[in-house]
Amino acid sequence: MVEAEHTGDGAGDAEESAGAEEVLDRPLPEGVRRRVVALVADAFGSLTMAELPPQLRQYARFTPSRRARFGGNAMAAALESHPLFRQRVGERLRETQPELSGALESGAPPAAADPAEVAALAYILRPAGWAKLVAAAGEEVQRARAERADEEAGREVRRLREELAEARSAARAEADRARAELESARKEADVLHRKLRSAVSDVRRGEAALRKAAAELESVRAAAAAEKAAADSEARRLRARLAEAESALEAGRRAVREGRSVEDMRVRLLLDTVLDAAQGLRRELALPPAAQRPADTVDAVEPGRMTPKDIATRALSETDPALLDQLLALPQAHLVVDGYNVTKTGYPTMPLDKQRLRLLGGLAVLAAQTGAEMTCVFDGAELAAPVLLAPPRGVRVLFSKPGQTADELIRRIVRAEPPGRPVVVVSADREVADGVARAGARPVASTLLLRRLART
C-alpha cells in the first residue's frame, strides 16, 4: 500500500507539472467552493479506504450530504495537499461527467454550462487555464448576485412606491375624517356650552336649597340635643334599676346553689345505694359477663366464606412497644387490627394464609396476656374461594364484604363502640389512622404491634 501511494504521488507531480502550476490570485468563490465539496463528497464513496488521505477516512461511512456538512473543510484542504487524492477524484468525475470533463481539458467549455459547475470541475481536474475559469466563474457569480440585487432593489422600490401611494390615499382619507370629526366636535361643544349654562343655573338653585336645608338641620340638631339629654336621664334611672335587679338575682343564685348542694348529696347517696344493690344482685344471681360486644353487631363476612385481598400500606412513625401495653391495660380496652396492613409490614414474602396464621397466633397470646378484647379485620372483597380459618381463642376475625374495604369495616367497628371506651386501632394507613382518631379511637403504627408480638 505504501508503494502504491508513492507511485500515485509521482503521477500527481506529473499532473502539477502539466498545468497545476497555476494558482488563484484570490480566494475560491463561496459558490464554487460549495460545488467542489459536493463533487468530492459524491466521488468519495467510490474510493477505497487506502485511497483516502488519513484525515478523510473517518468520513468514509457518511452519506454524501453528511460528508459535505462535517468534512467539507477537510476535503477542500486534502485537494490542495494531496495531489494523488485530487487525481483520483478527477478520474471519478471524468467517468460521471465525461462531456464536460472532455470540453474542459480541450480548452472549450460549453457556453450553456453553469459557470460554478465549470469552475468546480476545473478546480479539481486542473486543466490548462483552470485558474482563469475559476476567476471567471467568481465574476459571473458576482454579476448574477448584482443582477439579483438590482432586481430585488427594483421590486423594493416599486413596493415602496405602492406603499407611498397607499399612505397618501390613507392620509387624505384620514384628513377628511379628521375634518368631519372636528365639525362634529364643534357642534358638540356648542351643545355642551348650552348645557353648562343650564347646569350653572341649577347649581345656584341647589345652593339656595342647601342653605335652607342647613337652617332646618340646625333646628333638628337642637331638638335632638334636647331629646338626648332626656334619654341620658332615663338611661341613668334604668341602670340603677338594673343594678338592683342584678343584686336580687345574685342573692337568688346563692340560695339555689345552697339548695343544689343538698340535692347533690342526696343523689350521690342514692347512686351509691343503687350500685351496691346491683353488685349484690349480680353476686346473688351469679350473672356471667356480657357475652356479646358492640363489635359483634357490625355486619361483616365470617372466616371460611371469603378469601382476603391485598391492600397497600403507608408508614406511620414508630414508637415504643411499651405504649401498647399501657393502652391495653386500660379498663375494657378493645384492640382492632388492620390484618393485612400488619402482615405485609412485618412479613410480606410469606403466603397470605401463613401471614394470617402467624398474626392470629400472636394476637391470641397477647389476648391471653392482657385480657383485652381483640378484633382482627382482613380485606375480603371480591374473593372466589372460601377461607378455611378457625379463629383463635380471644380473637374475633372479620372479613370485609364484597365492595367494602377493610378500612371501611374498621371505621364502622370504631363508630359502633360507646363514647369513652378505650379503642386502639393498629394500622400503618394514614387515612385509616386519621379517620378513627376523629371517631375517638387511638391509632398506633403496625410496627408497634409487630415489636410487641416479637417479645411474646
> Tens-digit pLDDT profile for the chain (456 aa)?
333 333 334 434 444 444 455 666 567 777 777 877 777 777 777 777 877 888 877 877 888 788 777 777 777 777 777 888 878 877 887 877 777 777 777 766 766 677 777 777 777 777 776 777 777 776 776 777 777 777 888 888 888 888 888 998 998 899 999 999 999 998 998 899 999 989 998 999 989 999 998 998 988 988 888 888 888 888 888 888 888 788 778 877 776 666 656 566 555 545 555 666 666 666 656 555 555 566 766 766 555 443 333 323 333 345 688 888 889 988 889 999 999 999 999 999 999 889 999 999 999 999 999 999 999 999 876 455 566 677 889 999 999 888 888 999 999 999 988 888 899 999 999 999 999 999 889 999 999 999 999 886
| Coil, helix or strand at residue 426 | strand
Inter-residue contact 85 to 11 (CB < 8 Å): no
How many other C-beta atoms are found inside a 10 Å radius of the C-beta of residue 28? Answer: 18
Helix 30-44 × helix 115-125 angle, to 10°: 60
Domain edges within the chain: 2-128, 296-454
Question: Under CATH, to which class is 296-454 assigned?
Answer: alpha beta
Instruction: Say if CB 36 and CB 120 are below 8 A apart.
Output: yes
In the sheet that holds 442-444, the strands lie side by side as 395-399, 373-378, 334-338, 423-426, 442-444
Selection from 325, 416, 350, 322 nearest residue 377 by Cα? 416
Degrees, nearest 5: CA angle 282-285-287: 60
Distance CA 156, CA 321 (A): 90
CA distance 455 to 109: 104
Length of the chain: 456
Amino acid sitting at position 447:
T
CA dihedral 417, 423, 426, 427 (to 10 degrees): 50
Phi and psi for 276 in degrees, rounded to 5? -65, -40
Amino acid type, 105: E
User: Which residue matches cell numbers 351469679?
Assistant: 286
Q: Sign (positive/negative) of CA torsion 129, 132, 138, 144? A: negative
Q: Give the 3-state secondary structure of residue 219.
A: helix
Angle, vertex CA 367, rays to CA 330 and CA 283, nearest 5: 65
Q: Minimal CA–CA distance to 383: which of 434, 449, 310, 322?
A: 310
